[in-house]
Amino acid sequence: MLIDRYADDLVVWAPAKVNLFLEVLGKRPDGYHEIATLMAAVGLYDTLVFKEELSGDIRLRSSVSGLSTGADNLVMRAVELVKQQTGCKRGAAIRLIKRIPIGGGLAGGSTDAAATLAGLNELWHLGLDTKDLAGLAAQLGSDVPFFFATRAAWCTGRGEQVLPLELGRTLYFVLVCPPFGLATADVYRNVAVPGEPWTGEEIRKAVTAGQVEEIGRLLHNRLQPVAERLCPALTHFRDRLAALAPAGHLMSGSGSSLFALCRNRAEARRLAHALRHGPDEERANVFLVRSVPPG
């Protein structure tokens, strides 16, 4: 994530993620599933603007009408966790500008929570390091710690155990976000644990080597067949991506967003144009993005 100051405002840009690989390894006693996943941060950002609130109150405003700004919002949960763990009594006014589609498997809520932890650490001068922040993040959700890693990471456990990976090259994606979401709990509830899970070793090597064709060949998401059974409309978008012949295509997370992995920026532009001007231009949001650059 990126942090900057403008006058009295502290601004944090919170990136989305895509899953290049996701395997389900088993069911845990705590009700979650044991997974192995390879995630990459991409350049589709929510923006959070923080300002000191001298009254000591916490106020959250969102650009999305109907999105709860109460205690159930992950941003507010992150605020409360920071205050509990540090004893800080200071206040903040937070403005959340949403661009990452809600319920799309792109971790919009998780990245906002991570941005809140990082933003308050800066705003309130708490002195927490990356390890401290990642520890707090693990208490908020499975995907939240990832956003304190580098551009990509191999994540295990329920997703909170993060091993940073280096990308061998910039990756270009076209995201297709249908006008409907999927509930993560519903998808996981219906997934079957495979007898012989994929290890993901080959795609990890391909990612670090920057071998786009090989990455495309090895893309895998155990949740996608389940999501397509629950929501058959997903198959239409999958087939449209396949017809454009990118290096590979896949659903991200538990859906409903899908992505095409492109060989270069020119191919990404061609695919994005085709998707935006096809028969479904009013039915899905299309984003041309790249993997988040170093630093």
Encode pLDDT of 187-212 as tens digits: 999 999 999 999 999 999 999 999 99
- The residues facing 177 across adjacent strands are 285
Q: What are phi and psi of 169, to 5 degrees?
A: -165, 165
Instruction: Please report the pLDDT score of residue 282 as a whole number.
Output: 56
Strands 33-53 and 9-27, sheet pairing = antiparallel
> Are the CB atoms for 182 and 103 separated by under 8 Å?
yes
All structural domains of the chain with their residue ranges: 2-164, 166-290
> Are the CB atoms for 208 and 168 separated by under 8 Å?
yes
pLDDT digits (tens, 9 = 90+) for 268-287: 999 999 999 877 655 799 99
In the chain, what percentage of residues exceed pLDDT 70?
99
Identify the CA nearest to 219 among candidates 17, 16, 19: 19
Instruction: Please report the pLDDT score of residue 119 as a whole number.
Output: 98
Rounded to the nearest 5 degrees, what angle is found at the Cα of 45, between the Cα atoms of 141 and 218? 70
pLDDT digits (tens, 9 = 90+) for 215-242: 999 999 999 999 999 999 999 999 999 9
Amino acid at 46: D
What is the mean predicted confidence (pLDDT) over 129-145? 96
* pLDDT band with cut points at 50, 70 and 90 for residue 141: very high
Instruction: Please report the pLDDT score of residue 295 as a whole number.
Output: 65
DSSP, residue by residue, 62-82:
ESSTT---STTSHHHHHHHHH
Report the distance separating Cα 45 and Cα 65, nearest Å. 18
Residues labelled catalytic? 17, 143
Pick the CATH number of 166-290 from 3.40.50.300, 3.40.190.10, 3.30.70.890, 3.50.50.60: 3.30.70.890
Average pLDDT, the chain: 95
Q: 2-164: what CATH class?
A: alpha beta
Instruction: Please report the pLDDT score of residue 57 as a whole number.
Output: 96
Instruction: Please report the pLDDT score of residue 281 as a whole number.
Output: 55
User: Residue 207 is encoded by which pair of tokens?
Assistant: 């990612």
Whether pLDDT at 213 is above 90 = yes
* pLDDT band with cut points at 50, 70 and 90 for residue 66: confident
Instruction: Please report the pLDDT score of residue 189 as a whole number.
Output: 95
Report the distance separating Cα 58 and Cα 76, nearest Å. 8
To the nearest 10°, report the CA torsion of 148, 150, 152, 155: -40
Instruction: Please report the pLDDT score of residue 1 as a whole number.
Output: 87
Whether pLDDT at 7 is above 90 = no
Give 232-236's long-range contacts (Cβ < 8 A, gap of 24+).
Answer: 233/178, 233/180, 234/178, 234/258, 236/280
- Three-state SS at 2: strand
What is the mean predicted confidence (pLDDT) over 249-268? 97
Burial class (CB in 10 A: 0-12, 13-18, 19+), 3: middle
Instruction: Please report the pLDDT score of residue 278 as a whole number.
Output: 74
246 or 294, greater pLDDT: 246
